Every structure is written in C-alpha cells, then in structure tokens.
Amino acid sequence: MIPQTELFNIYLMAFLIRSVELTISENYYKEFVRCPIHLSIGQEMVPSVFSSLDKPKDLAVSTHRGHAHFLGKRGSIRKLFDEIHGLPSGCSGGNGGSMHLVDTENGFIGSTAIVANTVPIGVGISEAQNLLTNNNSITTVFLGEGATEEGVFYESLNYAKLRNLPCIFVIENNNFSVYTSLEPRQGKFNLEKKIKGFCVNYIFVDNHNYMSLYSKWSQALDMVRDGKGPFVIEVMTHRYREHCGPYIDDHLDYRDETFLKKWKKFDILDLLKNDLINTGIEESYLSKKEDQMIKFIKNEYKNSEINYLKKREKMNIN
Ligand SMILES: Cc1ncc(C[n+]2csc(CCOP(=O)(O)OP(=O)(O)O)c2C)c(N)n1
C-alpha cells in the first residue's frame, strides 16, 4: 500500500507534468518555441512515482522525451519554459532546447537527442558514484524501449553488472518507436530473456499499475543501495500525442482503435485520482489544488513568452 500522503504527492506530480506539457502544446502553434518537442502526455506514471522515491543525492539522465523526468527530479518549471524559448535563463542557458535539459543542482545530469546516448553516460556516472562517493547514491537511466535496440544498451548492462554498479535502467515501453510497433522491430526476441542473460535483475509492470511499480521500485532501490548491483525496470505505458510535436495523430491509423481504447481505460491521472478519492480526500479539495497549479503554470509560461518576445525585439527579429 502507498501511504495517502505519498499517493497525494504522486498525483500532484502527475497532474503538474501533464499541465506543463498541455500548456506547451497549446502554445506551440505560435512558433515561439524554436525546437522540436517530444511530449510525455499519457506517460506521467513513471516520472511521478520516480519523484516520490527519488532522493536529492541520487542522479538521473534521460532522453529526447525528458521534460517529465526533469520535472520529476524537481527541475524548475520556469527554467524549462525559458529553455524551450531559447532564453539565457533556461536550464541549459537557452542553448539546448527541449531535448537537452540539465539541472545539476537537483541531480538531473542531462538529457540528449541521440537514442541510447545517455545510457553509457549514466553507467559512467554510477561508476563515479561508486568510486568517488560513499553516500549510497544511485543513478537512474531513463530510456525508451527503442533504445534497447542499440548495441550500446547491452554493453552498458554488461559493464554495470561486471562492476556491480548502483544503477537502475527504467525503460518506458510505449510500444512504438516513432510509427513502428514492437513486432517488426524486435520480432519474438524477449527483452526480459536478453536482460536476464546478463544476470541483471529485471522487473516488469503493465497497464499503468502504479502500486506495483511503487513497491517493486522501492525494493529495487533498497537492493541497489545494499550493493546488489544494477536493475532494469520495464514499464508498459502510452503516449497520447504524436512522436514529435504537440498534436494528436491517431487519424494516421498506426495504432488501432482497440489499442487506443485499452489505454484510455488506464489513464494514469484518472487511476490516481479515483484511488485518492477512495482514501477519503474530497474531490473539491483536489480541484482547488489543480486550479491553483494550472494558474501558476500558465502564468510562468506567459512570463517566459513575454521575455522571449522582448529578446526578439532587442535582436530586431520580426
Ligand atoms: C541513434 C538514433 N537513431 C535514430 C534517431 C531518431 N529517433 C529519435 S526518437 C526515435 C524513437 C525512439 O523510440 P524510443 O526509444 O522507444 O522512445 P520514444 O520516442 O518512444 O519515447 C528515433 C528513432 C535518433 N535520434 N538517434
């Protein structure tokens, strides 16, 4: 069981992530955001459970779809907005954009655009934690299932196991790499078998079962901190929006209706909210919190846009 206060925090973080990304998507048409965006709308379960289990001393790296992990690691909403507007006050000085987020103060070492690129980097960081620190800290490496089709993923697993590193690989499997489903890419090769072939601990979570994720992830963290070596956690999830961009692309028909309907049933915000209300929290109290959060996020976005427009004016760009 997840204590009520933890469940509340997980819900608020999931709501925050979705609201931040909806705000970005609603405003993208203005073309003030000068970089591609890969949104995690629908995939909020992993980053919100992560935020409740994460310790400030721990480190994390992520991918092209990294806004949610950055926020889950307590990255600043305003610095994210400023980053995608190319402002010097952005979390990467306005030089990186959506796919290159950094917040070293909060232990978010970075995200990059090349698929699987941060996997060996994360392993290197966890090796440094092992050698240079004595504080039981760990590194979380976020990746999509597409990254498991890169050879470097297996080299990284092998090395992490050989060196018994304090490292957790969290695979968010949304069934698609751009428009291509799992079967033509991975055939019948079972990821679990491949990972276990390296004698690495493996955990699987399906259908947005956040309670199972919470308890298995907590146990994995205890074991990694106890020196039991790396873990892989594979979580089935679903992205609502197009691979890259703010829009819904279901009309393209690369995901059939049964599949889309199934995932609507497992909307993570609905699941968390229903369970939270069943613990006795008033719906009206939640709505008040949600409204406050949306107001704050929209205000931060507006101020970031204003600064972007000021910068544009200064540079004499129409
Ligand atoms: C090495 C490399 N190959 C191809 C690409 C183009 N690309 C960007 S994202 C992506 C799909 C990655 O799928 P997955 O890892 O499952 O993450 P998801 O986008 O589903 O979150 C591809 C092929 C790239 N950025 N890097």
- Whole-number Å distance, alpha carbon 298 to ligand 1 midpoint, is 30
Q: Match 């779809």 to its residue by tokens.
A: 65
Ligand 1 lined by 235 (C-beta under 6 Å): no
Looking at residue 317, its pLDDT comes to 72
Identify the pLDDT of residue 318: 63
Q: Is the CB of 114 under 6 A from ligand 1?
A: yes
Check: pTM over 0.85? Answer yes or no.
yes
The beta-strand segments (E) located in 98-198 are 108-111, 139-144, 167-173, 176-177, 180-181
Q: Does residue 148 line the site of ligand 1, with CB under 6 A?
A: no
Tens of each residue's pLDDT in the chain, 318 residues:
899 999 999 999 999 999 999 999 999 999 999 899 999 999 999 999 999 999 999 999 999 999 999 999 999 999 999 999 999 999 999 999 999 999 999 999 999 999 999 999 999 999 999 999 888 999 999 999 999 999 999 999 999 999 999 999 999 999 999 999 998 898 877 899 999 999 999 999 999 999 999 999 999 999 999 999 999 999 999 999 999 999 999 999 999 999 999 999 999 999 999 999 999 999 999 999 999 999 999 999 999 999 999 999 998 876
- Which candidate, 99, 149, 143, places its Cα nearest to that of 121? 143
Query: How many angstroms separate the CA atoms of 34 and 27, rounded?
Result: 12
For each of the domains in the chain, give its residue range(s) and CATH number, in order of start.
Answer: 4-307 (3.40.50.970)
Q: Which atom of ligand 1 is nearest to the CA of 178?
A: 11
The Å distance, Cα 176 to ligand 1 centre, comes to 10
Q: Which atom of ligand 1 is nearest to the CA of 38?
A: 19
What is residue 279's three-state secondary structure?
coil
**Positive or negative: CA dihedral 11, 135, 64, 181:** negative
Q: What is residue 21's predicted lDDT score, i.e. its pLDDT? A: 98
Q: Counting Cβ atoms within 10 Å, is residue 135 exposed (0-12), middle (13-18) or buried (19+)?
A: exposed
CA of 281 to the centre of ligand 1 (A): 40
Distances (CA, A) of 289 to 24, 227, 284, 295: 20, 40, 9, 10
Residue 289: is it exposed, middle or buried by C-beta count within 10 angstroms (0-12/13-18/19+)?
middle
List pLDDT tens digits, range 272-301.
999 999 999 999 999 999 999 999 999 999
Residue-level pLDDT at 113: 97
Q: Which strand (E) or helix (H) includes residue 61?
A: strand 59-62
